[in-house]
Amino acid sequence: MILDAARVLIPFVISFGIGIALAPVLTHYLYKYKAWKKKAGKEKGMGDDTGTPLFNELHAVRETSAPRMGGIIVWGSVLLTSSFLFLLSYLYGGEFTELDFFNRGQTWLPMFALLAGALVGLIDDGLEVWKSEGGLPLPWRLALVTALGAFAGWWFYAKLGVSAIGIPFFGAFSLGPFFILFFVLVTLAIYASGVIDGIDGLAGGIFAIVFMAYAGIAFAQEQIALSAFAACVSGGIFAFLWFNVPPARFYLSETGTMALTLALAVTAFSADTLGEGVGVAVLPIIALPLTATVATSVLQVISKKVFKKKLFRIAPIHHHFEAIGWPSYKVTMRYWIITIISSILGLAIALIG
């Protein structure tokens, strides 16, 4: 048990240290090449009215002065940590072998999801920053996320023999071939929550806590490599968060949010019936602020279409709180508190369910 705990915590610390060391270098180049949006506001379709003057009034200065691509810190830290531990294992073997968490059984697919999302997001950010083309069109990004989700779902179903999800207190619920469709829908929902990036410190704190919760679930299932991966991701996010607290030095942007949301989807499914436990069903609880982000965006759209009026001043709801006068740091800190509480609740349900 003590050795297993070390196998999880050491990658977390190494990833954090690498991220802290990497940040000044990334900062230099992001500011040198002015890697920020040239025009404030967000495209239509990612929350209902985020392109309105009210949103621009709240965020215009930060959006056109704080660089994007800060997510490189996160996935770069994970990649370098994994490579470093693999190299130690290859060169010296022995106890170092125990620290290498990159294996086919538990972490190849979550790592693939992280890096695939990072690459697509990086292309989107590059177009946004240097081509001023608004990034990849939303339908393209949704299509790519759907394709990646379908591939991952197919891998679970066809290669790993997973066709059910764990329901707390009731056991496994079989979905049969509809498991792949369900996997895609969950992946798209989590990806949609990525719009929570935009307030200093908000997305980083939430994702760091959520991944640590899944590290705990995987650890309890004795999926030590998966637990180490989730902890390693969390360590990279905490390094990013060190520089993202107000005033933010940079934002996750698409290369960060797409990487994290896709990796979170695969991690949640990996910590489900594959680990003889519950992982997906508690995701809306553990990631409650992400759930609220998607839900309030959908409710806003429905309200406008059906009742011809807004339900919130701005959607998602964290921008509504800003619009009614909450300082951004208060929104961030309260969201951190909510995420800690909801993660503890979700973790408890997963452990006893």
Quick: pLDDT tens for 52-103. 566 666 665 566 678 999 999 999 999 999 999 999 999 998 888 999 999 9
- Lowest mean pLDDT: which of 64-68, 182-186, 210-214? 64-68
Backbone dihedral angles phi then psi of residue 267, each to the nearest 5 degrees: -65, -45
Q: What is the 3-state secondary structure (H, E, C) of the chain?
A: CHHHHHHHHHHHHHHHHHHHHHHHHHHHHHHHCCCCCCCCCCCCCCCCCCCCHHHHHHHHHHHCCCCCCCHHHHHHHHHHHHHHHHHHHHHHCCHHHHHCCCCCCCCHHHHHHHHHHHHHHHHHHHHHHHCCCCCCCHHHHHHHHHHHHHHHHHHHHHHCCCCEEEECCCEEEECCCHHHHHHHHHHHHHHHHHHHECECCHHHHHHHHHHHHHHHHHHHCCCHHHHHHHHHHHHHHHHHHHHHCCCCCCCCHHHHHHHHHHHHHHHHHHCCHHHCCCCCCCHHHHCHHHHHHHHHHHHHHHHHHHHCCCCCCCCCHHHHHHHCCCCHHHHHHHHHHHHHHHHHHHHHHHHHC
Q: What is the mean pLDDT of residues 166-182?
A: 95
Model confidence at 281: pLDDT above 60? yes
Q: What is the mean pLDDT of residues 105-133?
A: 92
pLDDT score, position 50: 44
pLDDT score, position 57: 61
Q: For tokens 């790592």, what's the residue?
A: 111
- The model's confidence at residue 135, banded by pLDDT at 50, 70 and 90, is confident
Model confidence at 279: pLDDT above 80? yes
pLDDT score, position 350: 96
Q: What is the mean pLDDT of residues 15-44?
A: 86
Share of the chain above pLDDT 70, in %: 92
Model confidence at 49: pLDDT above 60? no
- Averaged pLDDT score across all residues of the chain: 91
- Lowest mean pLDDT: which of 43-47, 111-115, 192-196, 259-263? 43-47
Model confidence at 116: pLDDT above 90? yes
Q: What is the mean pLDDT of residues 267-285?
A: 95
**Using one digit for the tens of pLDDT, what is the confidence trace for 320-334?**
999 999 999 999 999
pLDDT score, position 267: 98
Q: What is the mean pLDDT of residues 237-247?
A: 95
Cis ω for the linkage preceding 316 (within 30 of 0): yes
- The model's confidence at residue 40, banded by pLDDT at 50, 70 and 90, is low
| Angle formed at CA 188 by CA 47 and CA 306, multiple of 5 degrees | 40
pTM of the model: 0.94
Model confidence at 187: pLDDT above 70? yes
Model confidence at 45: pLDDT above 80? no
Share of the chain above pLDDT 90, in %: 79
